[in-house]
């Protein structure tokens, strides 16, 4: 009822203004060029009195509300008006103790009239994982670098030292060069067998492989077999993240125990159990090789028997010296038991940042 009275007062006021042809801020003026006679002045005074009475009547009907009251009511009405839906959502979230930070959900969470801004800055179709995600977003979840369009879940675009597929690990390209005397039987990396090439079993040449390694521990495993009742020996290098790991070992001719200072002298580990086979998971990262001893040197660079009849420094054969990088001459490491068809297993664990 009070608001209805205020509305009636406003209508009455507007009616008076319309009837007199005056605005609220203008004063009555005599027609230009005409002198004001006494009768005209009396008429204008009468009109002014009528205007005042009309406004006074409208004011009395509303319970004494003045024009200033009407202006205040208008301001109240504007303040009471419901905000826009976006602003209301943000205000409700803030009042409820929630967040007004923009989320990736197809809604303007922060009330700035923009929807999901910052969710897919690189335009690869995946939402920035640093922002909250919910159904309704125009992008898929999980982008771990929203500044690089080639970084997102499922990406196969290799980038050195980058977690380009957002699985939580950086990726590094590793190069493995290997040769075995007499026959290579298995080459693996992180539990995955690599396709064997024709040169690694010639011992006068080597094969080169590339694999992708990840942050954390990685394993390269080499298995070989002797066919001439002599020795099983291997030479290899693994280059990854700027570091080259050359096959190296300790002196042969004896058995090493974990208490020996030589036990940890080389990262290359050797399985020395005669006539037995390690578990099928021997190349997995999680395989426990704590009982594997250090690899043993069969020959250092330039030493017999691998340079016999061949060019120095250590038996290049026809292509071996060019198959390995010119500045890399890894030692041959071996199984020292001269048993025909004896197999040997060597592995190295490499940790990457």
Cα three-residue angle 241-187-182, rounded to 5 degrees: 120
186 and 335 share a domain?
Answer: yes
Residue 91 belongs to a domain: yes
Q: Please count the structural domains in the chain.
A: 3
Which residues lie below 8 Å from residue 96, measured CB to CB, with a gap of 6+? none
Asked if residue 232 lies in contact with residue 343, where contact means CB atoms within 8 angstroms, the answer is yes
- Asked if residue 184 has a cis previous peptide bond (ω within 30° of 0), the answer is no
pLDDT by residue for the chain (353 residues), tens only, comes to 444 444 454 444 444 444 445 444 444 343 444 444 444 444 444 444 444 434 344 444 444 444 345 445 544 544 454 444 444 554 554 455 445 678 889 998 888 899 988 899 999 999 999 988 888 898 999 999 999 999 999 999 999 999 999 999 999 999 999 988 889 999 999 999 999 988 888 777 889 999 999 999 999 999 988 887 677 789 999 999 999 999 999 988 788 899 999 999 999 999 877 556 788 899 999 999 999 999 998 776 555 555 544 444 445 555 676 788 877 778 888 877 666 777 889 999 999 99
Exposed, middle or buried by CB within 10 Å (0-12, 13-18, 19+), for 296? Answer: buried
The pTM score is: 0.68
145 and 28 share a domain?
Answer: no
234 and 332 share a domain?
Answer: yes
Residue 305 belongs to a domain: yes
Task: Supply the range of the domain harboring residue 343.
Answer: 171-352
36 and 146 share a domain?
Answer: no
Domain boundary among 62, 80, 98: 80
Residue 163 belongs to a domain: no
Residue 110 belongs to a domain: yes
Which helix (H) or strand (E) covers residue 214, if one does? strand 207-214
340 and 233 share a domain?
Answer: yes
> If you search the block for the tokens 């009330």, which residue do you land on?
111
Asked if residue 175 lies in contact with residue 210, where contact means CB atoms within 8 angstroms, the answer is yes
184 and 315 share a domain?
Answer: yes
150 and 40 share a domain?
Answer: no
């Amino acid at each position: 009822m009070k608001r209805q009275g205020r509305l009636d007062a406003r209508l009455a006021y507007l009616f008076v203004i319309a009837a007199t042809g005056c605005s609220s801020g203008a004063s009555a003026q005599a027609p230009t060029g005409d002198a004001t006679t006494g009768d005209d002045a009396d008429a204008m005074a009468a009109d002014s009195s009528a205007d005042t009475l009309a406004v006074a009547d409208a004011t009395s009907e509303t319970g004494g509300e003045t024009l200033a009251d009407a202006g205040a009511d208008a301001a109240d009405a504007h303040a009471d008006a419901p905000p826009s839906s976006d602003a209301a959502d943000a205000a409700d979230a803030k009042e409820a103790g929630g967040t007004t930070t923009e989320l990736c959900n197809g809604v303007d969470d922060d009330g700035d009239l923009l929807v999901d801004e910052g969710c897919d800055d690189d335009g690869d179709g995946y939402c920035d994982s640093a922002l909250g995600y919910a159904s309704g977003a125009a992008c898929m979840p999980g982008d771990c670098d929203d500044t690089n369009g080639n970084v997102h879940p499922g990406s196969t675009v290799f980038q050195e030292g980058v977690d380009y597929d957002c699985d939580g690990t950086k990726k590094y390209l590793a190069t493995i060069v290997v040769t075995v005397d007499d026959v290579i039987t298995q080459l693996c990396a992180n539990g995955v067998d690599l396709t064997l090439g024709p040169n690694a079993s010639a011992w006068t040449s080597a094969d080169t492989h590339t694999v992708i390694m990840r942050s954390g521990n990685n394993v390269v495993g080499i298995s070989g077999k002797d066919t001439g009742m002599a020795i099983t020996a291997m030479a290899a290098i693994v280059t990854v993240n700027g570091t080259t790991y050359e096959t190296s070992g300790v002196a042969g001719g004896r058995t090493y125990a974990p208490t020996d200072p030589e036990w940890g002298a080389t990262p290359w580990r050797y399985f020395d159990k005669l006539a037995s086979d390690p578990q099928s998971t021997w190349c997995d990262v999680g395989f426990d090789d704590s009982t594997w001893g250090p690899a043993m040197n069969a020959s250092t660079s330039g030493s017999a028997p691998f340079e016999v009849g061949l060019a120095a420094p250590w038996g290049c054969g026809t292509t071996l010296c060019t198959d390995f990088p010119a500045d890399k001459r890894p030692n041959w490491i071996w199984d020292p038991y001269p048993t025909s068809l004896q197999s040997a297993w060597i592995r190295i664990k490499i940790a990457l940042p």
